[in-house]
Amino acid sequence: MNQLALRSKFNEVFQKEKLYFFAPGRVNLIGEHTDYNGGHVFPCALSFGTHCVFCKRDDQKIRLHSLNLPNKGIIETDLNNIAYDKAQDWANYPLGVIKTLQNHGYKLNYGFELLFWGDIPNGAGLSSSASIELATAVAMNSVFNLHIPQIELVKICQEAENKFVGMNCGIMDQFASGMGKENHAILLDCNTLKYEHVPLNLQGISILIINSNKKHSLVTSAYNDRRRESENALKALQTKLPIKSLGELTIEEFEANKELIKDPIERKRAKHAVYENQRTLQATKALKAGDLETFGKLMNDSHISLRDDYETSCPELDIIAEECWKIPGVLGARITGGGFGGCAVSLVKDEAVKQVIDTVGKVYQEKTGLKADFYIAAIGGPARPMAKIY
């Protein structure tokens, strides 16, 4: 009996077979804070994300451990007694998915151990939480033969983050992680979940992600406030207009009716949601036509709107975007993700990438005392089971 056969026999006898799953992070090229406002987004899955190893137990315990947060130790609970607990920290994300599956009537018949490791920078706004959720959901779906379509797993993960974790996010992050396609972005209508994979024919241009290393925590930030302000603006418009979301409005319709929104802050939030939705549609059209100059300009306009109207930027990300804009060869740069820290995304001609890294990195450190990290994005596939490991 060779070594591989011996390992296989061990797993057969002791039921310790380990299964491996992966879910990507995401970067949103344009269309920020439009998902929960019923508009369009344009994200793509990344090649890096969350790796998850599953190991079956013969009792009802769940034990979770993250190699990224070893000081948190092993977090343990019971399959039949899952509840949110702030002390569980990061583990509330996978536990929320498991509990939501149970709430939907899916049976998980035995306990298990989950080991996580992610190569998404923590707090960078590249959707590490959605990546953890999708890795967990794909694992549960595969191991327990739940036969849940991928699109339904996406919805379950969003529900888990909304109702279990308490983060009132839209569906974009989970959708990008669950439905990504290599070398494609996703044009998603968040009202209908109708989507289209759009090829990223960038013709000598790189997607450069710049991590400000200004950490953010969306649950404790003003993210939920922005959603509430947008909902209030929608209610004001609904006193006259038969709409269900801000994403249904054209710019002309908004401008003709914006005075219905009496609160000036709420009016600015609605303006961003409407204009950003239209920018996203225009940007996708430009990409399909090979007009990357227009795509980049729309990215810049998106950042300005997020800075001035939606107010989810921060001084650090403003510095990064503004320094990028000064460099020939940068088509566009903007904040990406929920905001209040995290990353910017830029479209940069290949020959200018080194100059951006050197120049922006130097100026950013001088002005903030922080060191920025730079990643040339590789666009990957969806959350999925991987090969078995032992």
Residues taking part in catalysis: 173
What are residue 347's DSSP bridge partners? 207, 332
Which residue has 């804070």 as its token pair?
33
Residue with tokens 């996580």: 116
Helix axes 223-237, 264-288, angle to 10 degrees: 100
Is 335 within 8 Å of 329 (Cβ atoms)?
A: no
DSSP 194-260: -EEEEE---SSEEEEEEE------GGGSSHHHHHHHHHHHHHHHTTTS--SSGGG--HHHHHHHGGG
Instruction: Give me the residue label for tokens 């949110």.
Output: 84
Contact 182, 382 (CB under 8 A): no
Query: Beta strands 112-118 and 61-66: pairing type?
Result: parallel
DSSP 22-85: EEEEEEESS--S-TTTT-EE-EEEEEEEEEEEEEE-SSSEEEEEETT-GGG--EEEETT-----
User: Cα–Cα distance between 217 and 200 in angstroms, integer?
Assistant: 30
